[in-house]
Amino acid sequence: MSKRIFVVDDEPKIGNLFSNVLERDGYEVDAFVNPRSLVEALEENSEEPDVVVADMMMPEMDGVELMETLQERELDVPFIIMTAHSSVQTAVEAMRQGAFHYLEKPVNLEEMRALLQKAIELYGAQQELKQIKTEKQKQYPIGGILGKSDPIVEVRETVETLCDAANTTVLLTGETGTGKNLTAKTLHYNSPRAEKSFTDIDCASLPDNLLEAELFGYEEGAFTDARDSKEGLIEVADGGTLFLDEIDSMSLALQAKLLSFLESREFRRLGGVEDKTADVRILCATNADLEQSVQEGGFRKDLFFRINVVNVKLPPLRRMGDDVLLIGKQIVSEFNQEFGNEIKGFTDSAKEKLLNHTWPGNVRELRNVIERAMIFVEGDRIGADDLTLAPPSRLDNQQPLAGDGFRFSLGRTLEEVEKAYIRRTLETRTNDSYADIADDLGISKKTLWDKRKRYNLDELVDR
């Protein structure tokens, strides 16, 4: 599809020249002898241009005034100023106000062609990013943090405020499955940083040396397998957001490096000597009690204060009352689209069952329960018998489970009991994910990893 160029110059021969040259290049050109006629054409629902090229000095309205008028009308296209040599400084000032670039008169036609192509390419890329932003905002709206209960209303209001505070570090806390990842994405995609990248990493999923390399990047030869230089996630997220999940799993040494970056916005790649900078918003999340970790020496106090600028506490589902049904209804709607079903909702007995459950796995557990029900349900409503819930012995989210019948004799040390307990868990839950096992044990994946190594239990895990 050919691109449309609007040319505005009070000298008709300039418009004629541009039309003749650019139409041969495949552009559509509309030439105007004064800015008012361009504005009137837009008001008459004329097709919008892809680029506007306007003379700086014109009677009634100069080029900058025309640009401001179009900006007020929300015409978001590249604006190129034409100017005589004596007015170049004015054109540069126009660029500070939003002009894409300027052309010095007499116009070099090849320079004009190159500048138009560059403007169209960059504008196309910007429009694509804006489209992605719009789609992500639809996918992660602030209203997508569902609930009418006081705790979740407070979360939603706080998130709405924080979206505009695009440089503020935020700590998201709450039990597993309460929606910390969803909240982080909502914060990003409704902020001024939304057109840049959202990058996330689970700090518990990698050994410490690999986590450092992932965050800060490395130079060629920094370690044995570093055959090439690589950007870290901090560089990748420049201009956007970096989400550090399970930050409590990070070692004290790496915490110190993260703190240094947060305070200076400078860092070095592994093996590097050059200081780099990055403009990135940091969001952190944990299901641990960081204040207790600070007291026990497992988390740096100075880093805790640095990331705890604003603490958004995600409430557990059991404290959200009837919101269980509201969220459940939304989940049913989502799975209807995915599965091609037409499930209308829940029976009264199913609603009662949902309300009486204490949801140790929170919204994640609710989603899994509803997904299973919708696969096997035979009618158009989910009944109580369709809902497979965790047994009462598993309702406490903080109680680890090792399977039925775990026993130990008195007189054994706590270390021996712990080893046996973890061994039994790994032996009996071979089909469960490593992350779920760690959650049910009440520890992070990194802690489970460390204990597995300590007790020589590697042979029990092939995950």
Give residue 452's pLDDT: 81
% of the chain at pLDDT higher than 70:
91
Distance CA 131, CA 129 (A): 5
Residue 353 pLDDT: 94
Residue 407 has pLDDT above 60, yes or no: no
Looking at per-residue confidence, does 434 or 385 come out higher?
A: 385
Tell me, rounded to whole angstroms, the distance of Cα 326 from its chain centroid.
25
pLDDT band, residue 459 (cuts 50/70/90): low
238 close to 281: Cβ distance less than 8 angstroms: no
**The pTM of the whole model exceeds 0.75:** no
> Is CATH 1.10.8.60 the classification given to domain 317-394?
yes
pLDDT tens-digit map of 310-353:
999 999 999 999 999 999 999 999 999 999 989 999 999 999 99
User: Is the pLDDT score of 239 beyond 70?
Assistant: yes
Q: What's the pLDDT tens digit per position in 14-34?
A: 889 989 999 999 999 999 999
| Average pLDDT over the chain, rounded to an integer | 87
Q: Tell me: cis bond preceding 141? Omega within 30 of 0 counts.
A: no
Exposure b/e, 262-289, CB count within 10 A at least 16 = b: beeeebbbbebeeebebebbbbbbbbbe
Q: Where are the domains of the chain?
A: 4-134, 140-313, 317-394, 414-460
Architecture of domain 140-313: 3-Layer(aba) Sandwich (3.40)
Q: Hey, which of 109-113, 238-242, 395-399 has the most confident mean pLDDT?
A: 238-242
Reported confidence tier of residue 401, pLDDT bands at 50, 70, 90: very low
The residue written with tokens 């019948």 in the block is 405
The band of 79, judged by pLDDT with boundaries at 50, 70 and 90, is very high
* Least confident residue range of 211-220, 240-249, 373-382, 423-432: 423-432
Parallel, antiparallel or unpaired: strands 4-8 and 28-32: parallel
pLDDT tens, residue by residue, 268-302 = 998 888 999 999 999 999 999 999 999 999 999 99
Asked if 4-134 and 317-394 have one fold, the answer is no
Q: Which CATH class is domain 4-134?
A: alpha beta
